[in-house]
Structure 1
Amino acid sequence: MPWIERRGNSIRVKWWAGEYKIHPGGRKTKRYESASGPEPGEPFETEAEAYDYGLDREHDVRHGKHIRRASAKTLMEDYCWMWWEAQDLRPMSMGRYKSRLKARIVPYWGDRPVGDITAWEYDAWKKSLRKAEAAGELSHHYASQLLSLFNLLMTDAVVKYKLRNESPVVNHRRRGRYVKRKREIKRPLEMQVLHHLARNAYTVWGFTGWVCVWATAFTGLRPPGELWGLRREFTSPTWPASDPDDERRALAAGRYGPDHMPAIRVQWQQQYVDGTRSLVDPKYDSHRTLVIPPFLHELFVVLLASHDSEWTFPGIQGGEMPRNWYDSYWIPIRDGVPERGGRRDLIRPRIFAVPQMAGKRFYLVRHGHREWLDEDGHSRTAIETRMGHEVAGVEGLYSNLTPRMEAAIMQSLQERWDKFWAMGVWWAPPVPISLPSGSESDGVHRSDG
């Protein structure tokens, strides 16, 4: 039971906090907490009020709802960074969380105790984010991610770290003014648009750029991480014979390769870890094998023979891709570059913009690959596996990607390519090396003029 102490004009109540203090020799004594008022700066007016407050605290202790006063007063600034340090996520996810905490959450909430944040305060903050979104200061995606991260912080404060009894984030479905979700406007990925992008990529980046655009569209690799993480030994025509893992190489040998179905292996992606370019597992641990149509296999044959880099897609100078790839490669490829004069050896040709991709991300080329698979009627299992996703539930448990499914994908992609070139497309880049004997792919052997 709680007991009351009078100290001058103040009233203090003490209660058992449900914990024990261990003394040398193993002796245990109860650990008590005390309060001089229900809130800081608000003293108890009567002993009865103080006694009832102590009874409520002991009720919480008996029912496992007690929050230590010191824990509840942990400042958000300290809690956010302790929470971040405790996470075990991929480097890119850790970086995103750190950036959002530093940019928005800690500056706004940092001096507030975790246990004192109310639903009123949260709603006010949420409203301020939506206003910033409407004013164009924040994107809808970024504002939603901030709210999601704060919700995660509060949920862990309740469930995992016991810093408060309930979360101030209460999400009601179909409550309040309806706001239609803003979605990125996408157009069907047309081969003519890809050809324009690939031609621009050749002007900016050489033959590697030409192959990179087509490879992204016909494999669905996640750009840029999985593209830049694709190594020579995991690329057709060398894979699977060049796979460093003996067991994986043996399992793949009877199903993939130039004599079966040409394929690439998604084994890594590139990310920056503590500022250092590193190879990490692909997103969702989605290691997978992607069969490729014959024309793309031939493009890879030529590309790998044209350079000696360990990476399938090296940078312009032959090394790793630069960190500012989006600005120095993608924007000129997408938006074009005016002709520049000067000395003859510095003249750069004009690159015409691709209007259909104005302001768009390179990642949408991967989305287009998914559209093609849907259009061609492939099974959900084949599509989701190829995109690096898992099919949930019983369907995913019983389904399996079969060689016939892969062969059907390979054939439909090759047919899409052949149909496009049969329309009389007149330009493809000159080949940087002598053609392999028997090569018949339009994308390889056509040249300017």
Structure 2
Amino acid sequence: MPWIEWRGRSCRVRWDTGRVDPETGKPIYDSKSSMDWTEDEAYNYGLDRESDIRNDRYISRRDGSVLMRDYCRTWPETLEVGHLRDKAIRSMLRLYIVPRWGETAVGDIKPSAYRTWKKQLKALPSVGEKYGEEILTVFSMLMDDAVDDELRQSSPVPKGKKRRRGKYRKKPREKKREMRMEDVHQLALNALTFWGLPGYVFVLTMSFTGMRPAELYALRREFCHPAWPDADPDAERRVESLGRYAGERRMPVIRVQWQHQREEGEPKLFPPKYESYRDLVIPPFLAELLELLLASSQDEWVFRSVNGSLLVNANFTYHYWRPIADGRLASGVFERVRLGQRQTVVSRRPLPEIPATAYAGKRLYLLRHGHKEWLDEDGHSRIAVETRMGHEIAGVEGLYANVTTAMEQRIMDTLQQRWLRFVRSVGPDMAAASPISLPSDLRDWVKAQVKAAEGLGR
């Protein structure tokens, strides 16, 4: 039973928490004082706490007094996430959560205080809509785990219907235009000018496979057509894949086995996002391009940077995608003063003017989005589309569904037809928009594509 004692002008109630100090073996008591209580009010408060203890819903005032800065220091160690997600979570804790809540006890965070912080957070000019939602998601996870750790009775983050209360705000969606083959090919021609043959093939590979950029950075020769599946290091998978793709009608394939990411400053190979290992059939024209590219070197990586290093080491969006998509002025001669002397400087890699494209100011990832758009437009089954994109379909539909070779053959055929329709529409002027003349081997390939497209129309 609780007992009452007066401490000066405050009435204090104490109660047995039912716990024992592991070091001394003595019972652990908790207490609370108030100058506004009568003895009956204090006693009833103690009875309520003992009821919480009997019904396993009691949070010790000692446990709830753990400061957020201390809890945030140890909490990330309990998470099982990838290295990039771990880095992002620690950054959000350091920059936004600890500065606001660090000196507050875990058990003292109120729903009203959370709602106020949420408004203030979203009003910060440095926090965009999506990043703000990410920070709030991390905070919600943090509070849910605090409940599991018995540091508080419930989370201050509203769930369910309570979460949706207040003024309705429609979520902004990125404005998109449909991905047209003419725009994709202009990107490829710009990439050829800026980056060479690897750039031309890179743009078309991403557009016709939907691979994620990091998966393209890590594409190795043995997992790319024409080497795969014959060169697959996994014997069991090699036999199975040869039976599927090298049968009566051979289908060229790329195996998505790795993605490149940086961990602690070092480039490393990781499984694809969501461990979405997959085989991607490719249209014959792209297979020919990859054969042309791989025949030009013996490198283990399909795509290298301009200077021959790993693409993951480059700031690809800034140094590659922006000049390819946005265009750039021709390399010029400029004057500078160095060591007190005026110099005339010529670019080490002079380039002609590169025209802007329909993707000026847009994200590279839209090429992946556009690939799904093409597949949907061609009427392919949902399981074939989502599997190709590296997604899983939840529920019974995903459990029962299976991608057949006939589905893959149809994807290969429709992508090839899309390409040939474009080639036929532009004809011999296919490379007219290129800022540079095509290399001889690529020029011969283009002529063969034009001839094939003309034959399709007969």
TM-score by length of 2: 0.87
**Per-residue deviation, 1:299:** 0.9
**Per-residue deviation, 1:8:** 5.4
Q: Could you list the runs of 5+ residues in structure 1 that have no partner in the other structure?
A: 445-449
**Per-residue deviation, 1:371:** 0.2
For the 8 Å contact 1:226–1:269, the answer to whether it is kept is yes
Query: Once the two structures are aligned, what percentage of the paired residues are identical?
Result: 47
Distance change (3 Å), C-alpha of 1:332 and 1:157: same
| In structure 1, distance between residues paired with 2:12 and 2:303 | 71
Q: Does 1:414 align with 2:416?
A: yes
**Per-residue deviation, 1:340:** 2.1
Please list the CA deviations of residues 165-215 of structure 1 after superposition, one character each: whole Å capped at 9, or x if unmatched. Answer: 111111426532111111110110001111111111111111101000000
RMSD (Å), alpha carbons: 2.6
Q: Does 1:65 align with 2:57?
A: yes
Report the more deviating stretch, 138-147 or 169-178. Answer: 169-178
Please list the CA deviations of residues 318-345 of structure 1 after superposition, one character each: whole Å capped at 9, or x if unmatched. Answer: 2201331111111111111111223486
Q: What does residue 447 of structure 1 align with? A: none
Match of 2:141 among 142, 152, 157: 152
| In structure 2, distance between residues paired with 1:127 and 1:23 | 45
Match of 2:157 among 163, 169, 176: 169
Letter in structure 2 aligned against 1:285: E
For the 8 Å contact 2:122–2:128, the answer to whether it is kept is no
For the 8 Å contact 1:264–1:292, the answer to whether it is kept is yes
Task: Choose between structure 1 and 2: higher helix proportion.
Answer: 2
Q: What does residue 242 of structure 1 align with? A: 231
What is the correspondence of 1:6-85 to structure 2 with a 5 Å cutoff? 6-7=6-7, 10-22=10-22, 29=25, 31-37=27-33, 42-43=34-35, 45-85=37-77
| In structure 1, distance between residues paired with 2:8 and 2:359 | 76
TM-score by length of 1: 0.89
**Per-residue deviation, 1:4:** 3.0
Distance change (3 Å), C-alpha of 1:174 and 1:43: same
For the 8 Å contact 1:221–1:227, the answer to whether it is kept is yes
Q: Number of aligned residue pairs: give it.
A: 430
Q: What does residue 293 of structure 2 align with? A: 303
- Aligned residue for 1:254, secondary structure, equals helix
Q: What does residue 263 of structure 1 align with? A: 253
Q: Could you list the runs of 5+ residues in structure 2 that have no partner in the other structure?
A: 334-345, 453-458
Q: What does residue 104 of structure 1 align with? A: 96
- Aligned residue for 2:244, secondary structure, equals coil
Q: What does residue 405 of structure 2 align with? A: 403
For the 8 Å contact 1:340–1:347, the answer to whether it is kept is yes
- Aligned residue for 1:277, secondary structure, equals strand
What is the correspondence of 1:157-236 to structure 2 with a 5 Å cutoff? 157-158=146-147, 160-171=148-159, 172=162, 175-223=165-213, 225-236=214-225
Distance change (3 Å), C-alpha of 1:341 and 1:8: closer
Q: What does residue 354 of structure 2 align with? A: 351
Q: What does residue 377 of structure 1 align with? A: 379
**Per-residue deviation, 1:50:** 2.8
**Per-residue deviation, 1:98:** 1.9
Distance change (3 Å), C-alpha of 1:76 and 1:23: closer
Distance change (3 Å), C-alpha of 1:62 and 1:30: farther
Letter in structure 2 aligned against 1:353: A
**Per-residue deviation, 1:125:** 1.1
| In structure 2, distance between residues paired with 1:194 and 1:293 | 16
**Per-residue deviation, 1:140:** 1.4
Letter in structure 2 aligned against 1:394: V
**Per-residue deviation, 1:130:** 3.3
Q: Does 1:138 align with 2:127?
A: yes
Distance change (3 Å), C-alpha of 1:195 and 1:113: same
**Per-residue deviation, 1:381:** 0.7
| In structure 1, distance between residues paired with 2:350 and 2:123 | 47
Letter in structure 1 aligned against 2:122: R
| In structure 1, distance between residues paired with 2:120 and 2:22 | 48
